[in-house]
Amino acid sequence: MKKVLLSLLILTVGFIKISAQIGIYTANPQTQFHIDGAKDNASTGLPSTIQQANDVAVTSSGSVGIGTINPTQKLEIQTGGIAGAPITGFKLADGNQFNQYVLTSDATGIGTWKRAALTTIMGTQPNTDGIGDDTFKTSVVTAWQSTHQYITLPPGKWRVDVVQLLRYDGSTVQLATSDYMWVRFTFGDSDTATAPTSDFIGAAKYVSGNIFGPTVAGANKYGLAQGSVLIDNTGTTAKSYYLLSGNSTSSVTDVNKKLLRLGGSFWAENIITAFPITQ
């Protein structure tokens, strides 16, 4: 008799493990393990969204729902918040929490709170002289030349900041008060590109600057071309964008009036940086 009872007990336990749904504060469990926190679920049928708001459920696949009995992820939290009236539903107090910190994972997926880090990509400047010496020209020159500087951007949208030094060579010819040179930069798809890339967001695709007179005998003059453009790399791999110079104009045409080593890495002020955007 004892053996028969033991066998029945084993079979009963086995049956419970296989088929039973456990409910706490509910006689109508909807998942493998279902807690009705407010004891407000109906005795039959599915609980309403409002009734589920205080429920905790574990499904047969091991997913956990808090505020929902149908989690679509391994852990899903439904607080009932909506756009304009959010309701928080998560708190991790691990000692690293601090105002405006973000939850960050390591390579294995372990998360903790850390200060938000802004992704920054730096451009490359492989050429000392850039396009070389750029002489003054009265008409707009549409031909673009590569400075050989470039920046490699992963897929996505980026704000690209450019700073380029403009140095007028005053060793031979001085600038009169009315003399100027307007210099433009843009980005092309290759180091041999002669036109701007089509990856710009919006109409803005130039960064420009001005150098103007007068100068005194034997003196150089300095200016900066600086600004930002928006680029969208719509591809699936990283792409290099090359800084071009051209489409510039001057008050006079004079080969002896020139900007030295335009776009070259010789100038420590020259820099290209990029930051991700969500526009």
Q: Which domains does the chain have, with CATH numbers?
A: 20-80 (no CATH), 89-116 (no CATH), 121-276 (2.60.120)
Question: Where do we find the tokens 């973000």?
Answer: 102
Whether the model clears a pTM of 0.85, i.e. scores above it, the answer is no
Q: What's the N-to-C CA distance of the chain in angstroms?
A: 76
Taking only the tens place, the pLDDT of each residue in 170-220 is 988 999 999 999 999 999 999 999 999 999 999 999 999 999 999 998 889
Question: How far is CA 79 from each of CA 69, 88, 120, 212, rounded to the nearest angstrom?
Answer: 13, 7, 35, 62
Reported as a pLDDT band with limits 50, 70 and 90, residue 13 is very low
Distance of CA 57 to the CA centre of its chain: 36
Cβ–Cβ under 8 Å, residues 34 and 55: yes
Q: In angstroms, rounded to a whole number, what is the distance separating the alpha carbons of residues 244 and 261?
A: 13
Q: Which of 80-84, 91-95, 138-142, 201-205 has the lowest mean pLDDT?
A: 138-142
Residues 240/152, Cβ–Cβ less than 8 Å:
yes
**H or E stretch including 18?**
helix 2-19
Is the Cβ–Cβ distance between 274 and 153 less than 8 Å?
Answer: yes
Q: How confident is the model at residue 118 (pLDDT cuts 50, 70, 90)?
A: confident
Contacts made by residues 33-39, CB under 8 angstroms, sequence distance 24+:
33/57, 33/58, 34/58, 34/69
Residue with tokens 């980026």: 158
Between 34-43, 104-113, 136-145, 244-253, the lowest mean confidence (pLDDT) is in 136-145
Beta strand extents in the chain (DSSP E only): 22-24, 33-36, 55-58, 64-66, 75-77, 101-105, 111-115, 121-122, 134-136, 145-153, 156-168, 180-188, 207-212, 221-233, 239-250, 254-259, 271-276
| Residues 6 or more apart whose Cβ sits within 8 Å of residue 104 | 111, 112, 113, 114, 117
Nearest Cα to Cα of residue 222 among 209, 232, 236, 233: 209
Q: 50 by DSSP, 3-state: which?
A: helix
Give the pLDDT confidence of 26-81 residue by residue, as tens digits.
Answer: 999 999 999 999 999 999 999 999 999 999 999 999 999 999 999 999 999 999 99
Nearest CA to 27 among 11, 1, 10, 47? 47
Taking the CA atoms of 190, 196, 201 and 206 in sequence, report the sign of the dihedral they define: positive
